[in-house]
Structure 1
Amino acid sequence: MAVLFILDADASGIGIGSVLAQEQGGRERVIAYASRGLNKTERNYCITEQELLAVVFFIQYFRQYLLGRRFLVRTDHQALVWLFSLSPAQPSCKGTSIEQGTRADKVRGANEHSDTDTDDSAPSTSKDMEDKAVHPWLELYSPKKMAEKQRADPEIAPIISALAENIKPSSTAMEMESQATRQYYVFWDSLYMKENVLCRRFRKKNGTDEYNQIKKSRTSPRNPKGNGQVERYNKSLLKMIKAFLIDQDEWDLFLGCIAGAYRSSPSESKNSTKLTPNLMCFGREVRLPADLVYGVREVDSIPSYRSHVEAIQEHMFRAHEVARAYLKVSAKRSKDLYDTKLAFVTYKPGDLVWMLHETRKIGVTPKLEKKYDGPFVVTEKTSPVNFVVQTDRNGRTVLIHHDKLKHYNGSNVPKWASKAVKKIVNKC
């Protein structure tokens, strides 16, 4: 069942505002906020028309979420009731209209209108979660059987072998492994063996037990290659939109067709899986309406649900193995090419550095500005390539990638920088 979207809209004498929320796990969670001011003409609307304007405007504004779906509109006025009472010949809200294909299921009155950002109920304690947790596999497999299954799993076996030798693999070695194996590697410090079964320990920083743990990875700002996979897909998507686009105001209307074409097309570039996204996700190619009408592709008969599921699993397993083999080769090729051009420089807390000047001002030509600012002080190393840099005497810091820094070898060091360096050195 599709998740229900909820649109709260309101208006005042000077502006309109809206909150788009969604029901998730029995609670409303905010997706986006939006607002704008009213122009001189709109301020002369009656309150009914202003409330209706808010509803219509934000349905159009959030059309990427709402188009073609049922959703709930909540407003503290009878704007929609008034709208639906109009005859077809009467104009609605000074000529504006709701997007075709949307449907508002219900309108709530003022006494039912509430803020979507409601207080969450208190979470269960670790003990409560432990008591309520159900582990069906404990009843099906003994520790010995579970250990055998884990060692037969190609994605878990490399981690178990490394734990047995008590040697943590390098991040470079993990680049060639599957996504699941890399995910286990991220939680290396919390993994342990119990009765030859790989387990994970959930703990807070203070050492107490914790059953909900999220590990967040960060990239430095203004560094697109830190999210290379996402940026690569965005580049491909942008090229397809450009080729398909006629009017820029309607770019979002063609995303479905563009995404369908992308998912059904095998990637033929040298750094690709050579398979279609549909095959990778579903274990089969998606049948298009033309295939069913003209019989371009034969439809396999399904003898039973069980055999169908097993066939799909087998196809997905083979597709992932083929994709992994291609990706290993392409990853090594890309790494070798990247390393030939790489000039890696490391820094430690207390180093004085130049930082790339990226601020742009209106009326100032970037070509005539100095390329680097500084000297600044490195205060922390958050990863092999990301550093926290203090930029002024007030302690302001920024997270920045190493390729935007250079060592400072001059003698004109500000007093605040000298003090910051001494403080860091004494702390170490």
Structure 2
Amino acid sequence: MKKFLTNELGIKFGFVLFLFLLLQVPMSMIEDLISERSHRQNEVRNDIARSSSGEQRIMGPFLSVIYRETVSGDDRDYEVNRQAFILPEQFNLTSALESFEKYRGIYTARLYQADTRLTGKFDLSLLKELADRPVVEINLIVSVSDSRGLISINELTLNEQPIDVEPGTGIKQLAQGFHKTLDLSQLDITTPLEFDLKFILQGMGQLQITPIGKSTQVELSSSWPHPSFIGDYLPIASDITESGFKASWATNNFSSNISQLFELCMSESQCHQLDGRQMGVSLVDPVDHYLKSHRAVNYSLLVITLIFASFFLLELFQARPIHPVQYGFVGLALALFYLLLISLSEHTGFNWAYLFSALASTGLLSIYVGGMLGNSKHGAMFGGCLMILYSLLFGLLQAESYALLMGTLLCFVVLGLVMVLTRNVNWYERSSAKEDDNEPA
């Protein structure tokens, strides 16, 4: 009776599949390492922000009017202080951002110094509404997110007259910034109060502006060529080149509803809607090697699959046995490429790290495969094909907008190629041939 014989081809495929799944363990560990290093970088950036200044938001100038009002209660009348606010009729902001880096070990944070100018005017005729109530104090207030970033306050003028300011705002909702107490006797409510304020504000990453005016115009520029426009409003015009960017915004009280949102924030401390009414820019670092390394690891499944499939086809067409241990060494060498990539990119940048890691991985596998097949030419051909694969992967990583499309097309082409090469293979016949070879004479 003919003995039952195992399908050697099926067993080999099962071993290869098992090794493929087993290799996901080191790949998962490498991916966790990338996430850990990226998290550490964010912690360092937060530490730098705590020791210098963080993301900035400019709100102002606006006028805080403190007046006295008579209130009846408990069978007597008494006076209390109330607060009203006047927003500018016109508000214009221009700011030129000069970016620079701060280092802590191997980690960096991008900061900027914004040379800022605020111009516009207030309509003081609104004070007529308070004519029957004694005004105690009027303050001109400019709020910023982090007052440590106020490196210098330069020329400040009201109606072309220089003024001096004091730190703080006196408002609990917007505590940081500076203010100027105005002389009531010198205010003419029949004419607009024009302001021209210049200062340098340092921050990290983002600069946001609240469109505080009933009519607002904002213009931001920088030599940094990688801006990301943020907030509720996109620029009405922008020009981005390799030498920098320039962008402008325009809005009004009808589109921003800023008067109502500001009053809601000041009177009821409900500021979340006002906080969302921003326009600004984030200075993006395009060479985030942790993000690119993470994306590269996402394609490791494709790379390992292609290499293992090529070995399996080599066994199929040339009847050249390859031991599962050899599959394992090749898989570990492929995984080591990603570990080299993340460790080198922290010191040399992503592009150079990718080139060195690809050459190292290709060289190692060319030598190993050449010895495994007993033919150095075949090893060199394998190395060339692997280098082409790494080049295609690098192209996928660079093409952010088309990465998914290119990756899908590559998978389709590879699968189609494998199917075309194996379309005439009779798998049952090969299994039977294996059994006949193993049948004792």
Q: TM-score range by the shorter chain?
A: under 0.3
Asked which structure has the greater CA Rg, the reply is 2
Give the TM-score normalised by structure 2: 0.20
Q: Which has the higher strand share?
A: 2
Asked which structure has the greater RCO (Cα within 8 Å, sep 6+), the reply is 2
